[in-house]
Structure 1
Amino acid sequence: MKSGDATIEVPAESSRAAEKGKAPLIAVTATPHENRKYKKGIAIFDFILRIGAIVCILAAAAAMGTSDETLPFFTQFFQFEASYDDLPTFQFFLIAMALSGAYLVLSLPFSIVTIIRPLAVAPRLLLLILDTVALTLTTAAGAAAAAIVYLAHNGNPNTNWLAICQQFGNFCQQVSGAVVACFVGVLIFVLLILLSALALKRH
Structure 2
Amino acid sequence: MSEPATVIHMDGGKAPPTTGDAAGSSSKAAGRGLPLILRSSGGGGFRRCLAVIDFLLRVAAFGPTLAAAISTGTADERLSVFTQFFQFHARFDDFTAFIFFMVANAVAAGYLVLSLPFSAVGIVRPKATGVRVFLLVCDVLVMSLLTAAGAAAAAIVYVSHWGSLRANWVPICMQFHGFCQRTSGAVVATFLAVLVLLVLILMAACSIRRRRH
- Classify the TM-score, shorter chain: 0.7 to 0.9
Alignment match, 2:11: none
Deviation of 1:72 (Å): 3.5
Distance 1:72 1:78, change over 3 A: closer
Alignment match, 1:102: 110
Unaligned runs of at least 5 residues, structure 2: 1-38
Give the match's secondary structure for 2:43: helix
Alignment match, 1:36: 44
Is residue 80–residue 86 contact of structure 2 (8 Å, CA) maintained in 1? no
| Cα shift readout 1:161-185 (whole Å, capped 9, x = no counterpart) | 1100000011101100000000000
Alignment match, 1:54: 62
Q: Which has the higher contact order (CA 8 A, sep 6+)?
A: 1
1:151 to 128, 134, 159: 159
Is residue 101–residue 150 contact of structure 2 (8 Å, CA) maintained in 1? yes
Deviation of 1:78 (Å): 3.0
Give the match's secondary structure for 2:87: coil
Task: Provide the TM-score with structure 2 as the length reference.
Answer: 0.78
- Say whether 1:201 aligns with 2:209: yes
Hey, which bits of structure 1, 4+ residues long, moved more than 2 A? 72-78
Is residue 114–residue 123 contact of structure 1 (8 Å, CA) maintained in 2? yes
Letter in 2 for 1:33: S
Task: Provide the TM-score with structure 1 as the length reference.
Answer: 0.82
Give the match's secondary structure for 2:47: helix
- Say whether 1:171 aligns with 2:150: no
Letter in 2 for 1:48: L
Q: CA RMSD in A?
A: 1.4
CA distance in 1 between counterparts of 2:40 and 2:183 reads 49
Paired-residue identity, %: 50
Aligned length: 173
CA distance in 2 between counterparts of 1:87 and 1:34 reads 53
Alignment match, 1:114: 122
